Chain A
């Protein structure tokens, strides 16, 4: 951590179009800044995210992955967020198996109008990944 160059974590956020994507827009309208090193992948529902996508993000060098979905019980596709949670758990188990800290992948929820929560979640994620340090799977680590 103290190598002189500040560690800038690369985080992939899968953002459901019914919640987090709109929450990010809301954050934009309210001009609430959040870390710019979060790569937002626009998806139609958290349930679209496959374990494969999560693992590929790590393979490509992401330090952390988060699925930002609707609150439980508010999914437009009923159980999309629950499905996503199952996949996060699966990815988590697989990562642990190969010796990567499972905390690097996470599932968070937010409401479509809650821009401030979106920004707060982004800050929290950045903090967390900074603590964990660069991913051991980083190509140029």
Chain B
């Protein structure tokens, strides 16, 4: 390898850095460091003129490693890497010392700030000295998406993708598309009926050339990684094998009645929300119109985005359709979706009476009637006795029973409540832990219908961004395994959170899938033989950085 020549470019950031850091002193000290061939102080390195000057400096002085001491790499890290690339160097041969956000802006004392900036730049120099080249490559990916779950969210995802000109295969285990939407009696606060929404979406799905909807179908097996998944789909007795670039899960949720929580059993006049929805959907099932109906919720989940709106919705439907007395009993009513506050107002204006309780009300069955004894907090804690013909109770929203099978088949994670676990709830809310697999709708979060549809669009656009060009840029061998050191202990395989490690039994070594790797470095830290090298954060580099201590 050639002689290492490090160029250090320091930005004064319109005097905000030089105000509290003595850059001239730093330059003098840096010039004495080994391998540092050039130290230059510039104005606003983010400007095109300054970048051109840096490029010229790199080329003219034969610099082959670059350190830039400026603002946070979170801001211009990519732009600076592009700059280094344009100067003919590999984009990884750059280290950024964050002397603005993490130094000059927080340490007003000039001596101390200068000392810290020197430490930071020295660490960057020590790190970049040992940096290996990591090439980038373009890989062809399939421009097909597999959507699992043909409910309203799955259909929405497929429609969005087909509008973006991506071919989609939509698989649904039931005989018909539509999922839970088919059971809903109304969609307040949305101004459409479930039938209208379903018909319009079905028309779009069946009318689109890009969507292949397979009903009574399920995923049997999946192999490969992002950009090149191979799925075996079972439809009846047939088995179809197809390739996909990305997968979106829209498997929805299930509901469960918890008799232990309530302390009573269901019966003719105590029914669940889903049973009520079934009744409202097929009016023939209603033998006698109930004169008074009670709803109880907020028991299983504190403030569920699914059960609160559905209670309000069904209370309004009953009030409008039958004119019955309606009581809603809950611990604390919270609504946080678009239009839900108005829906709540509408429900109250129609004459539905709300009771908020602290202790769960007593429910007594008597002569075909349900008597509910509740302590009313708004009326000086008086015991109120309500008599209802029908009591509707909330169910717990639980993950679908297929989740566990899909989890192991797709190698993705389940969160604490056994719903799918997002990669990061805040930063990557629709991404799974495995690259190329996304979530939409209620399979990963508690969402009302409006939010679930937004979530569907988000997931669709994430998948679009990933594979729409038919190509993906990938870092080649950013993390490498030394086959001589690898003892096939499988530790890395077990620890990798992104399922990016495979074992090559012929070569007797683990190897890392460049496409699936997301660069956390956990494998490099856990490898007992230290056989894994993460080129951007190798052990040598981190230890070299620690030399400043």
Contacts and interface: CB of A to CB of B under 8 A. Distances in A.
A78 B543 contact: no
B460 interface: no
Interface string A4-25: 0000001010000010011011
Which of A34, A36, A47, A56 is most buried by chain B, counting CB atoms within 10 A of its CB?
A: A36
B536 A36 contact: no
B497 A78 contact: yes
B521 interface: yes
B526 A43 contact: no
Interface string A96-138: 0000000000000000100000010000000000000000000
B427 interface: yes
Which of B106, B113, B416, B521 is most buried by chain A, counting CB atoms within 10 A of its CB?
A: B106
A120 B545 CA distance: 25
Interface stretch (B85-93, B95-103, B254-262, B344-352): B95-103
Interface string A46-83: 01111011001100111000000010011111111001
A77 B112 contact: no
B503 interface: no
Interface stretch (B115-123, B164-172, B290-298, B384-392): B115-123
A69 to B, nearest CB: 12
Contacts of B542: 41, 43, 48, 53
Contact of B525 (A10, A25, A49, A57): A49
B400 interface: no
A53 B543 contact: yes
Given A29-B105, A78-B421, A79-B497, A50 B520 contact: no
Interface residues of B, number: 52
A129 B428 CA distance: 36
Contacts of B108: 33
A37 B106 CA distance: 12
A47 B521 contact: yes
B539 A50 contact: yes
A10 B546 CA distance: 12
A40 B423 CA distance: 25
Nearest to A73: B416
Nearest to B95: A42
B526 A33 contact: no
A77 B105 contact: no
A85 interface: no
B549 A25 contact: no
A7 B105 CA distance: 24
23 contacts: A18-B424, A24-B102, A25-B102, A27-B101, A29-B101, A39-B123, A40-B120, A41-B542, A42-B98, A43-B537, A43-B542, A44-B521, A44-B537, A48-B520, A52-B539, A53-B539, A57-B546, A62-B549, A76-B423, A77-B497, A78-B497, A83-B526, A119-B106
Interface of A: 10, 12, 18, 21-22, 24-25, 27-29, 31-34, 36-37, 39-45, 47-50, 52-53, 56-57, 60-62, 70, 73-80, 83, 87, 112, 119
Closest 8 CB pairs of A and B: A28-B101, A48-B521, A47-B522, A77-B520, A45-B520, A60-B549, A28-B105, A78-B497
